């Protein structure tokens, strides 16, 4: 079985990152269990714990009494409303009947009917008096309902006031509880975060870097998901201040290392090309050839049609798009094999035609 270095490299990267992720996941599960047990050491407060039980019991009892009284009063009111409606309908019918009879009497003009007119009018007044009596009872009942509702409202306001006082005490205790939880998590997460940063800075190139990288991923998760959500807010000042500090710290670190890298590359480009060529690693050379960039300065070494010198138009097609040396930093890129004369990428170890070892020193 032939060894395919590119496939091996890709497979190795997949395995390495898989190891890091799997280790990170199990560390997250373990830490979640530990943090959960740590959080259980302090009990979360409940609003009910701060309520005045005896006062609320009395108020709730009064509220239930007034609710029952209101239900009874509304039931009586509904009955009286129906009775008034019935009395009103009877009065209307009797009045209509009286009016019709009176009109008939006037037409006939019978004087012997005067007493009957008086009797029927009196009867009609009795029906009206009944309706008015029920309306008087309704008004009295409505006054009782209004008074009971006012008392019930007063009791409910007292209940709300008691609960508001209890909730105010609960909020104060809740802040203390959140601070305790944050401090517990801070004690647990801080060493993990420091260790994760140390592993990332110190062991990025270690042969067992996937293990250290997995722990670094876990430390970031522990910080951003296990600690930051529990950071006390105090109106947002603390969280925003921490965000500013983290942004400034990470930004300073990034800018510093980017500047160092740029300065390092600039210093490397000042070194003679032969010395720079000796430091090019095989992995970098393979990627440089695949992506057609100079392994020293990173610039593209392919030529465009308008870049060709007039005298070089007849070059072999396979190499007419490249130059032996980098146009930007002067590093040797392609050279002829000393054995067979085949042009090869100067930073790969062997000739692609005869297998002779290629040396950039020659």
Answer whether 145's CB lies under 8 Å from 74's CB: yes
pLDDT for residue 102 is more than 70 = no
Task: Give per-residue pLDDT as tens, 143-163.
Answer: 888 898 898 899 899 989 988
Looking at residue 215, its pLDDT comes to: 92
5 vs 42, higher pLDDT: 42
How far, in Å, CA of 232 to CA of 321, rounded? Answer: 62
Rounded average pLDDT over 317-346: 77
User: How far are the Cα atoms of 254, 257, 258 from residue 263, in angstroms, in the given order?
Assistant: 14, 10, 9
pLDDT at 318 over 60: no
Which comes out higher in pLDDT, residue 258 or 100?
A: 258
Choose among 328, 325, 308: nearest CA to 317. 308
pLDDT at 306: 47
Q: Is the pLDDT of residue 111 over 70?
A: no
Indicate whether 93 pLDDT > 80: no
Look up residue 139 and give its two tokens.
């008004």
Q: What is the mean pLDDT of residues 21-26?
A: 92
* Average pLDDT of the segment spanning 24-30: 91
**What is the pLDDT of the chain when averaged over all its residues?**
79
What value does the mean pLDDT take over residues 113-119?
65
Between helix 114-202 and helix 209-226 the angle, nearest 10°, is 150
Choose the most confident range, by mean pLDDT, from 29-38, 98-107, 303-312: 29-38
Q: Which of 17-21, 46-50, 96-100, 259-263 has the highest mean pLDDT?
A: 17-21
Q: What is the pTM of this model?
A: 0.54
What is the reported pLDDT for 22?
A: 93
- Read off the pLDDT band of 195 (50, 70, 90): very high
The whole-angstrom separation of Cα 243 and Cα 231 is 11
pLDDT range class, residue 354, cuts 50, 70, 90: confident
Determine the average pLDDT of the residues in 313-340.
72
Assess whether pLDDT exceeds 70 at residue 177: yes
- Label residue 112 by pLDDT band (50, 70, 90): low
Q: What is the pLDDT of residue 6?
A: 61
Cβ atoms within 10 Å, residue 178: 15
Q: What is the residue extent of each domain of the chain?
A: 18-232, 233-270, 273-345
pLDDT band at 236 (very low <50, low <70, confident <90, very high): low
178 vs 97, higher pLDDT: 178
Q: What is the rounded distance in angstroms from the CA atom of residue 152 to the CA atom of residue 146?
A: 10
Euclidean distance between CA atoms 195 and 27, whole angstroms: 14
Start-to-end CA span in the chain (Å)? 34
Residue 278 has pLDDT above 60, yes or no: yes
Q: Name the percent of the chain lying above pLDDT 90.
A: 6
Judged against a pLDDT cut of 90, whether residue 25 lies above it is answered with yes
């Amino acid at each position: 079985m032939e060894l395919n270095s590119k496939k091996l490299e890709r497979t190795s990267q997949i395995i390495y990152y898989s190891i890091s992720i799997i280790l990170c996941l199990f560390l997250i599960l373990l830490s979640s269990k530990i943090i959960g047990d740590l959080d259980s050491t302090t009990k979360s407060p409940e609003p009910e714990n701060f309520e005045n039980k005896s006062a609320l019991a009395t108020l709730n009892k009064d509220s239930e009494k007034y609710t029952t009284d209101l239900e009874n009063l509304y039931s009586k009111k509904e009955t009286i409303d129906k009775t008034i409606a019935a009395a009103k309908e009877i009065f209307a019918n009797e009045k209509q009947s009286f009016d019709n009879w009176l009109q008939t009497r006037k037409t006939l003009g019978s004087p012997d009917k005067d007493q009957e007119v008086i009797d029927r009018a009196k009867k009609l007044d009795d029906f009206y008096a009944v309706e008015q009596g029920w309306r008087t009872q309704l008004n009295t009942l409505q006054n009782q309902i209004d008074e009971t509702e006012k008392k019930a409202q007063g009791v409910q306001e007292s209940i709300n006031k008691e609960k508001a006082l209890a909730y105010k005490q609960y909020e104060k205790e809740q802040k203390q509880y959140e601070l305790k939880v944050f401090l517990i998590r801070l004690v647990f997460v801080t060493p993990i975060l420091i260790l994760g940063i140390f592993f990332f800075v110190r062991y990025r190139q270690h042969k067992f870097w996937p293990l250290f990288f997995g722990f670094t991923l876990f430390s970031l998760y522990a910080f951003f998901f296990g600690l930051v959500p529990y950071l006390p807010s105090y109106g947002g000042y603390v969280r925003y201040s921490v965000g500013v500090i983290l942004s400034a710290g990470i930004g300073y670190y990034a800018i510093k290392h980017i500047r160092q890298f740029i300065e390092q590359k600039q210093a490397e480009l000042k070194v003679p090309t032969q010395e720079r060529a000796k430091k090019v690693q095989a992995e970098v050379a393979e990627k440089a050839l695949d992506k057609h960039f100079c392994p020293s300065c990173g610039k593209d070494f392919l030529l465009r049609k308008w870049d060709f010198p007039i005298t070089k138009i007849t070059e072999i097609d396979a190499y007419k798009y490249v130059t032996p040396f980098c146009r930007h930093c002067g590093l040797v890129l392609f050279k002829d094999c000393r054995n067979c004369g085949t042009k090869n990428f100067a930073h790969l170890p062997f000739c692609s035609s005869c297998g002779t070892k290629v040396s950039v020193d020659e």
